[in-house]
Amino acid sequence: SCLHLSLSLSLSLSLSLSLSLSLSLSLSLFFFVSSFPVRPHSAHLDACRGRLMSFVDCGRGSGLRFESGDPADFRIGEDGTVYAARALHLSESTGQSLEIRVKDVESKEVWHTRVNFALPNTPKQVPEIVFPWRSVVVGGDGSVSRVKRDWVIPPINVPENSRGQFPEELVKIRSDRDKSNTLRYSVTGPGADQTPTGLFIIDPITGQLSVTKPLDREQISNFHLRAHAVDINGNQMENPIDIVINVIDMNDNRPEFSHQIWNGTVDEGAKPGTFVMTVTAQDKDDPNTANGMLRYKILSQSPESPSTNMFTINNKTGKIITVAAGLDREKVSQYTLIIQATDMEGNPTYGLSNTATAIIRLLDVNDNAPEFTRDTFYGEVPENRVNVIVANLTVTDKDKPGTPAWNAVYRITSGDPTGRFSIPTDPTTNEGLVTVVKPIDYEMSRSYMLTVVAENEIPLAGGIHRTRQSTATISIRIIDVNESPNFDPNPKQVKLDEGLPTGSLLTTFIAHDPDRHMQQTIRYSKLFDPANWLEIDPNNGRISTIALLDRESPYVRNNLYNATFMASDNGVPPASGTGTLQIYLLDINDNAPRVFPQETEMCELPEPNGINITAVDGDLNPNAGPFAFELANKPSDIRRNWTLTRLSGDYVQLSLRTGSLQSGIYEVPIIITDSGNLPMANTSYLRVKVCQCDLHGDCVDMERIMAAGLGTGAIIAILICIIILLVLVLMFVMWMKRRDKERQAKQLLIDPEDDVRDNILKYDEEGGGEEDQDYDLSQLQQPDTLEHDLVKPVGIRRLDERPMHPEPSYPLRSAAPHPGDIGDFIHEGLKAADTDPTAPPYDSLLVFDYEGSGSTAGSLSSLHSSSSGGDQDYDYLNDWGPRFRKLADMYGGNDD
């Protein structure tokens, strides 16, 4: 359906003569909408392509030129008609605007205006489909009852390439039974639960059917869905209804030529109206609408000699024909045409176009007929050979080589009524290759005499006739060869009962020798017998059994057993042929039934209890089911503990007869008898495991739970994980130790917080003086009474400073009863100090870096206290910063 919207637009034109004109325009917009609008909060309408509005020129004539500010969406014709260039999507909230520019060609005046498009606030309602009912009179008493009646729902039209907010509502499905029942709705079919899935969804509660994404008509033009209504228990409440969704075509595809470059030919001197070629283009849009209706035209011709219009094209079919005389290959050998295909029936304003190139070559006329070099050609061929060249036919042609006027075509006019020969042409030499295409039997015909005519691919030009030399004769001789014997029929089918006794004659499989004149002897042999059931008499082909035929054998497929036999003659060289014997085996009652399944579980309590069992029989009906089931009489406790209840002809239920049965495994013998003629019975044992059950009736196998444990593979995996974890921990520890050593080595060399070079350092005594030797022995003998030094706050310690805290803690010993213990204590402390990586090297030599040459002092030894330094200027030391302030004060000459 289309909505008609009328707007009033005022256009003021300011002229150079200070004249103001008011132009009232009537704007008519046509919008295409689906049969079922989308939700109001996301309404979008697709504008139909076509005329939207027109402008009045106010008597200015054809001197006005209209330009669209949005040529992608709108086009303006020369008469001022505005068209929608493509499918437009207008929002109810924002709408769309278009700026139009008008120019007077003579006065060069330009006017501008803007057209705003908006949609009216019309309420959108989603149509509702109710499952149909009707009332009819049934019964003899005239009572009225309601009977459901199916009806065809009108198709739902959905435009392709919709930009609407998704999911977009289409239709609501409802059953009138929803008042008394809680219903659930669903849809099935392609696009819902079948490929492509998810295009259409339905709210199971409200029945709202929606589309989830834009549709493409070129992929799927329509969808057939079925709507269902069930109650909460899944019971069908309504008959399914069919819903057809048609995807409406939009002009969103340009015409596409089958080939971008077309090649055609035409004879020189062709008369006007001569067909040249046909160009075709396809449009993926709907061919039944203007979107897919194409029109062709020639845009240009090159060269334009002798006329600019040497060719014309049928605008509907694309056929190109000559329209003027004067085609001369010696002057112009080729023409190039630019062909345009436009949809919308060729409308240049809003139709989509595409172009292709047509190259037309002028051919030389065929004014010379081909002629054979000889009157008679000879050849020979063995019988039953195909695709064999018998003879080569040579011709001469004075036309231009490689052209259709020179290429020869050979045609057999007589001597081959059954079509056993063909004569293709060698494209290089133009020779005719006489070839056998059907087998030839020497016994049927020993020679052939063919009459052949040579022609060209194109007929001779007007007034030119074929000469006598264009016809020749071919004599072909057939050579006799030894042919293979043939079985007839092949394959041969026979029907037999299985279980035939050994030595039974099945059939006679005879082969015939095509070489009737040779009087050869045929012998038979077995080539393929997978079950080794058969043998064949080598002289007369009689086939008999050497084993029992069993229909249930794995070598039998669909009751058919295939065996292959070979027949050989005594010709030179010998020839052989094969034949297949298909034996259709009829079933007999030769298999006893057996219980199925053979193992099962059952609770030790009678309730809940009961196991359904059946029987399997290798035979077919009627030699199989229905079966008779019976518990065996022995042992005596079988019938006392168990009972069988017949469910159907093939199933019975085994259950406990007693109040309870001890857990364990029991072998229950069951006698099963089939229904064959001469029934077969069999005692089959059912292995029943009686076990304790939980509240839900499921077996609880305590022994299996107790025996449960980790397998060997799981244990190995756990051990491997533990080993990998230990290796990672060890590597991490080694890495930490290495990092600590590197950090300690760096701290011994450089302390970034306090560079020793800018301080006056106090060095401890390095010799063994009084301070090292004068100590109180009582303190060494009573180490528990030692007072701890104050610990220096945490920070970076200078390398020339003795540690303030005991680092590391040396071993403490209790009061020694003998002075010799004091020596041991000192040696242990000394050893700990020597191995302490954090202890600074107080007694080691200090190494200073080389600072380069050019120093005034020359060396560190020259910096002694007796030097006056009066000839040196140390003012530059003040520019070195605060770190060298002490050094600047020492040499600056200040009293401080």
pLDDT of residue 726: 94
DSSP for residue 793: P
CA-to-CA distance for 291 and 251, rounded, in angstroms? Answer: 5
Condensed to tens digits (0 to 9), the pLDDT of residues 394-426 reads: 999 888 888 888 899 999 999 999 999 999 999
Condensed to tens digits (0 to 9), the pLDDT of residues 139-165 reads: 445 554 555 555 557 889 999 998 878
Check pLDDT > 70 for residue 55. Answer: no
Of 603-617, 766-780, 788-802, give the lowest mean pLDDT range. Answer: 788-802
Condensed to tens digits (0 to 9), the pLDDT of residues 694-707 reads: 776 677 765 555 44
pLDDT of residue 633: 81
Condensed to tens digits (0 to 9), the pLDDT of residues 470-487 reads: 899 999 999 888 788 888
The CATH number of domain 487-586 is 3.90.180.10: no
pLDDT of residue 751: 52
pLDDT of residue 349: 85
Question: What's 459-470 look like in SS3?
Answer: CCCCCCCCCHHH
Of 6-20, 235-249, 766-780, give the lowest mean pLDDT range. Answer: 6-20
> Which phi and psi (to 5°) does residue 791 adopt?
-85, 130
pLDDT of residue 817: 52
The average pLDDT across 43-51 equals 39
CA-to-CA distance for 162 and 91, rounded, in angstroms? Answer: 13
Hunting for tokens 């205006």 — which residue is that?
A: 113
Spell out a b/e string for 593-625, using b for 16 or more CB atoms within 10 Å of the CB, else e. Answer: bbbeeeeeebbbebeebeeebbbbbebbeebbb
Hunting for tokens 């020189």 — which residue is that?
A: 268
Condensed to tens digits (0 to 9), the pLDDT of residues 201-240 reads: 999 999 999 999 999 999 999 999 999 999 999 899 888 9
pLDDT of residue 7: 32
The CATH number of domain 371-479 is 3.40.50.620: no
Task: Tell me the sheet residues that pair with 68.
Answer: 100
pLDDT of residue 573: 82
Of 312-321, 621-630, 792-801, give the lowest mean pLDDT range. Answer: 792-801
Specify the higher pLDDT residue, 6 or 465. Answer: 465
Q: pTM here? A: 0.35
Task: Report yes or no: 211 and 248 within 8 Å, Cβ to Cβ.
Answer: no
Check pLDDT > 50 for residue 797. Answer: no
pLDDT class of 244 with cuts at 50, 70, 90 = very high
Fold of the domain built from segment(s) 2-117:
Immunoglobulin-like (2.60.40)
Of 90-94, 483-487, 523-527, 736-740, give the lowest mean pLDDT range. Answer: 90-94
Same fold? 371-479, 594-704: yes
Fold of the domain built from segment(s) 594-704:
Immunoglobulin-like (2.60.40)
Check pLDDT > 80 for residue 881. Answer: no
Check pLDDT > 90 for residue 708. Answer: no
Q: DSSP letters along 625-654, please? A: -S-EEEE-S-STHHHHHEEEEE-SSSEEEE
Specify the higher pLDDT residue, 777 or 733. Answer: 733
Check pLDDT > 60 for residue 36. Answer: no
Check pLDDT > 80 for residue 440. Answer: yes
The average pLDDT across 857-882 equals 61
pLDDT of residue 204: 93
Check pLDDT > 50 for residue 319. Answer: yes
- CATH classification code of 256-363: 2.60.40.60
Q: Decide: helix, strand or coil at residue 440.
A: coil
DSSP for residue 558: T
> How far is CA 163 from each of CA 166, 169, 245, rounded to the nearest angstrom?
8, 13, 18
Specify the higher pLDDT residue, 794 or 259. Answer: 259
For the chain, give every domain's residue range. Answer: 2-117, 128-248, 256-363, 371-479, 487-586, 594-704
Check pLDDT > 70 for residue 185. Answer: yes
Of 10-14, 151-155, 856-860, give the lowest mean pLDDT range. Answer: 10-14
- Computed over every residue of the chain, the mean pLDDT equals 77
pLDDT of residue 28: 33
CA 681 to the chain's CA centroid: 56
Tokens of 626: 């229905």
The average pLDDT across 518-530 equals 86
Check pLDDT > 80 for residue 855. Answer: no
Q: Which CATH class is domain 128-248?
A: mainly beta
pLDDT of residue 861: 53
pLDDT class of 26 with cuts at 50, 70, 90 = very low
CA 485 to the chain's CA centroid: 53
Condensed to tens digits (0 to 9), the pLDDT of residues 496-512 reads: 888 888 888 888 888 88
Task: Report yes or no: 399 and 444 within 8 Å, Cβ to Cβ.
Answer: no
pLDDT of residue 469: 85
Task: Report yes or no: 347 and 371 within 8 Å, Cβ to Cβ.
Answer: no
Check pLDDT > 70 for residue 770. Answer: no
Q: DSSP letters along 313-365, please? A: E-TTT-EEEE-SS---TTT--EEEEEEEEESGGG-TTT--EEEEEEEEEEEPP
Of 88-102, 287-301, 819-833, 848-862, give the lowest mean pLDDT range. Answer: 848-862
Check pLDDT > 70 for residue 298. Answer: yes
